[in-house]
Amino acid sequence: MLRARVLWVLASIADAVDRTAARRATYAALDPLVRGLVRGRVERAVARAQLDDPSGGDEAHVHRLAFLGVLGVDDGAHHGPDEVRVRYETARASLREPTRFGPTKVLVVVTTLATLAIGALVYVLTLPPTALRATAEERADAWQVGGRPLAGSPEVRALFEDALPSWVVALDRLRVAREQRLELGASTPEVANLDAQTTTLIARSRAALGDDFTSFLHAVLDQARALVEDDAAPAADSHLRSIDALDAAIAERGLGYYVDAEVLSRTTDGPGRNRVYLSTFTVERVAHHRSGDERVRVLRLRRLDRLAIARNVLGFTREQVRDALVLEERIETHLVDFVLPSLADDAGMPLFDDGPGAEGEWVRELERAAGEDARALASSVSPDALALGALLARRKSLLDGFQERFPDLVITRPRGFDFDPESYAAIADRVPRAQWRELESIASELREDAPRRAYGALEDVFARSIERHEAQHRLDYAAGVMSRALPTLHERLGNPFPGRRSESPPPPGEAQPSLPQDAFPPEHVRDDRAWARIAETSAYLSELARAPEVAKVNLALFGRHLFLRRAWGTVESSSILVIYEGLARRLAIETPPLLVRRRVDREALARLHLALRARPNDELASAAKDLWAELFGGPLPELVREPDPAPAG
């Protein structure tokens, strides 16, 4: 581009009669963007030609020599003016006048393309990764047919994300103040703050969702405050029913939000005895399960508020509410902690805690076997699952190694699938550079499509299993299963109604679990722990029976309630012990007592687990189904998940 313009200037000056005027006119016609560069190159070419000029200063001859030199046809020999003229005219014949603004146009095009390329690179580098799980399209009828409910306006989201949690904080400050002072007047800061928060919340609710909805919210707020201001033992059932009515009002509007309540009470009397938590969630998906004429709605939830109230369960439901609930974030943590790292080659699944009684080859044998079962399941779900497991196993190993290197620091492993290496930047310069680069590489690989699709497929398998667990609770509540006479379970797990003989029929009306406790005669006041143990036995067995493909992995995960010493004595540990013993009996597997002097014989349990997982999946699931029928006095009801609705349009 520049050479063509240099040649044009040299030729114009060489051919001109008035070379001074030609020089001014030719430079003025050049693109200002390159005028200075062309002038400099012309001057250097002319200077070199003058050294070879034998003519004694003929300016036209010098410019012809410079032209031939720039063109590259001058061989460096000293030619006379006539020969140079002939060579110049021959070369000059193909010269064309350059366009005026050609360089500027080229620069604009190049700059534009470079800007677009940089923009595309920035877009690729900052492009959010593929969603971890399939996101259904929003639909107004999702609560009725399934799918994802509506997100609503920003004001609606802010109501559940910020306004209601702020009110909960103000309520708890009032409770703390009551613990410290017996009398609180209207002017007390905590009371005044709660009153102001209530006024603001009610006003925002009316503006976002109208008076009808706000009446349900107002009832919840009034009851929650009354529980905190009342030092008597709480009658929380009515409050939970008000929460259920509030959630029904949300569903009627097709919105994807859910509010849950929990009332905690000290066993001792005194001010501030009762504590109320209100948690808010987004509803990511609605599914329906059908059992005969019974239809159970199951919600997959994600935590919306930022309150420091943790739920260490994968799903839950209550007798007083209508839905079964599954917590996606808790499932994600569960998979990342226990299941996914065991997908790496020869990896085991961590089932035991440290301490006496968990040593020996049998521990490693059981954990390796659980890892094999997890890999078999994962391979059938996604071809990329094992590679995903290797990534997460390596991430876990790196971070555990960092913790060992710096025992005085607390280096927490990510609680979810994604993570930002910069959250560990404080130790970046203190660990081997190769290990830090590997951690960054793992974070980058986890953003790629293949591992994310593999995770989404695996999570859905386990989420559906938990859906069945929670749906079984709903069926049991509706059928009054825990109120029946169940002699075998009552002997092992306790009678929920200790005043009643287990073999006697229930008193009239007692099979309806929604009745408040004070509807029963005093001798039939319910033992909630015994009730819960029977409920969990039913739900865990139903999971094993209804999903043969997940049965072995589920049994290992359930078994952690017995392999972990810290879990002994929980409701779940009692239920899982009954299940292990019952499966051994149904499958004619001899085993020594699993409970010795009120302690779990973990080695005997491990050997029983190995014998159970040696059976085919279908046989294990069939045994679970038969055991449910044996313990609950009738066949396990069928449960079918309704298909997700087809996309609109």
DSSP-assigned letters across all residues of 217-232: HHHHHHHHHHHHH--S
Contact by Cβ (8 Å): 539, 470? yes
Count of helices and strands (H, E) across the chain? 22, 8
Mean pLDDT along residues 274-279: 92
Of the listed ranges 48-57, 298-307, 330-339, 581-590, the least confidently predicted one is 48-57
Half-sphere exposure of 560 (CA within 13 A, CB side): 18
Residue-averaged pLDDT of the chain: 88
Contact by Cβ (8 Å): 568, 600? yes
pLDDT (tens digit per residue) in 597-613: 888 999 999 999 999 99
What separation, in Å, do the N-terminal and C-terminal C-alpha atoms of the chain show? 56
Mean pLDDT along residues 4-29: 85
Residue 2: pLDDT band (50, 70, 90) is confident
Contact by Cβ (8 Å): 602, 358? yes
Contact by Cβ (8 Å): 45, 64? no
pLDDT at 510: 42
pLDDT at 121: 61
User: At which residue do the structure tokens 């793992």 appear?
Assistant: 442
User: Rounded to whole angstroms, how far apart are CA atoms 201 and 194?
Assistant: 10
At residue 521, does pLDDT exceed 70? no
Torsion of CA 321, 574, 289, 475, to 10 degrees: -60
pLDDT at 414: 92
pLDDT at 509: 40
pLDDT at 311: 79
Of the listed ranges 180-184, 249-253, 351-355, 386-390, the least confidently predicted one is 180-184
User: Rounded to whole angstroms, how far apart are CA atoms 447 and 465?
Assistant: 27
pLDDT at 295: 96
Of the listed ranges 15-29, 47-61, 341-355, the least confidently predicted one is 47-61
Cα–Cα–Cα angle for 104, 106, 110, nearest 5°?
A: 115
Q: Per the structure block, which two tokens stand in for 207?
A: 């503006």
Contact by Cβ (8 Å): 49, 25? no
| Encoded amino acid at 33, one letter | L
User: Rounded to whole angstroms, how far apart are CA atoms 236 and 319?
Assistant: 12
Contact by Cβ (8 Å): 191, 183? no
pLDDT (tens digit per residue) in 176-225: 988 887 666 667 889 999 999 999 999 999 999 999 999 999 999 999 99
Mean pLDDT along residues 308-330: 91
Mean pLDDT along residues 127-152: 89
Mean pLDDT along residues 391-401: 95
Cα–Cα–Cα angle for 135, 542, 485, nearest 5°?
A: 135
pLDDT (tens digit per residue) in 550-587: 999 999 999 999 999 999 999 999 999 999 999 999 99
Give the per-residue SS3 of 579-621. Answer: HHHHHHHHCCCCCCCCEECCEECHHHHHHHHHHHHCCCHHHHH
Of the listed ranges 13-27, 405-419, 538-552, the least confidently predicted one is 13-27
At residue 462, does pLDDT exceed 80? yes
CA dist 301 → 248, 254, 259, 279, 327 (Å): 16, 15, 10, 11, 5
At residue 125, does pLDDT exceed 60? no
Residue 475: pLDDT band (50, 70, 90) is very high
- Coil/strand/helix, residue 612: helix
Read out DSSP for 419-432?
--GGGGGGGTTTS-
pLDDT at 17: 80
| Encoded amino acid at 22, one letter | A
